[in-house]
Amino acid sequence: MQSKQVDIVIGVKNVSKSFGDNHVLNDFTLDVFKGENIVVLGKSGSGKSVLIKCIIGLMKQDKGDINVLGKSVADLSSDELDQLRSKVGFLFQSNALYDSMTVRENLEFPLRRHGKSLSQSEMDMAVQQALESVGLAHTENMMPSELSGGMKKRIAIARTLILKPEIILYDEPTTGLDPITGKGISELILEIQRKFNTSSIIISHDMHCVKIVANRIVMLIDGECYKIGTYEELSHSDDQRIREFFD
């Protein structure tokens, strides 16, 4: 039990969040262990993205506690939050690449901003390594507008990888991509987990992606943690509300 406590990298305890009368998270509880990929599965508008935005501190929960790498996110000062964020990567649903910057500048931005005092050659190497890890080493001087949807997603992943995060939060990583590109991205997420031993929360309702990347799946229904299990366990469930996702 003691060793499991140590291994918890994200602890979400009884978190509630509402927008007016819309209660999106309702006493939600979840532990993420080191090195595992957890998929949060739920219908659109069920509060999946809100959950990871609370974890990274972009939103504040109304109730409950969120602990990331041993720190309570709500209690952190702005500087402490920045420090924590250097260890947590976030892949946005829309990729959020800076339109006015080249791919290289997009990747250098978090390195410069998180106060990493790297020389230009170290920076070049970090950019090159991050691009190679997503298989797009040749794109460094391209603008985001010149990239395809799949390439943008890979560059956005490279940007989250460049700080060598311990945790990565993926917000619908395969949405808007064709099935083949989506499969490629799912395999890349799995490869990142194996290569860098990262812990991840993946928000998705793409069942192909879920099957590839998930160590455990959390069913988020009515704002609550309805059920947790592996893909095999949940896909064989008799519960109609779970079956809806797998059929």
Partner 1 sequence: MSDNAFIRFLKEAGELSAFTGRFFKELFKPRQEWRELLRQCFYVGNHSLALVGTTAFIMGLVLTIQSRPTLVEFGAEAWLPKMVSISLIREIAPVITALICAGKVGSGIGAELGSMKVTEQIDAMDVSGTNPFKYLVVTRVLATTLMLPVLAVIADAVALYGAYLGANIKGVVSWQLYWSQVFEALSYSDALPAFVKTYFFGFAIGIVGCYKGFNSNKGTEGVGRSANSAVVVSSLLVFVLDLIAVQIADILGFT
Q: Which residues bind partner 1 (CB under 8 A)?
A: 53, 56, 58, 78, 82, 85-86, 88, 90, 92-100, 109-110, 113-115
- Cβ-based nearer residue to partner 1, 7 or 105: 105
- Cβ-based nearer residue to partner 1, 100 or 240: 100
Residue 213's closest CA among 184, 241, 180, 246?
Answer: 184
Say whether 173 sits in a helix, a strand or coil. coil
- In whole angstroms, the minimum distance from the beta carbon of 161 to partner 1 comes to 13
Say how far residue 95 (Cα) sits from the centre of its chain.
12
Give the whole-angstrom CA distance, residue 197 versus residue 76. 26
- Residue pair 50/68 in contact by the 8 Å Cβ criterion: no
Give the whole-angstrom CA distance, residue 228 versus residue 21. 27
3-state helix, strand, coil in the chain (%, to 5): 45, 25, 30
- In whole angstroms, the minimum distance from the beta carbon of 101 to partner 1 comes to 10
- In whole angstroms, the minimum distance from the beta carbon of 116 to partner 1 comes to 10
Quote the tokens at residue 198. 């990262």
- Cβ-based nearer residue to partner 1, 104 or 183: 104
- Cβ-based nearer residue to partner 1, 90 or 170: 90
- In whole angstroms, the minimum distance from the beta carbon of 49 to partner 1 comes to 10
- Cβ-based nearer residue to partner 1, 85 or 205: 85
Beta-carbon count within 10 A of 146 CB? 12
- In whole angstroms, the minimum distance from the beta carbon of 178 to partner 1 comes to 21
Quote the tokens at residue 205. 């309702």
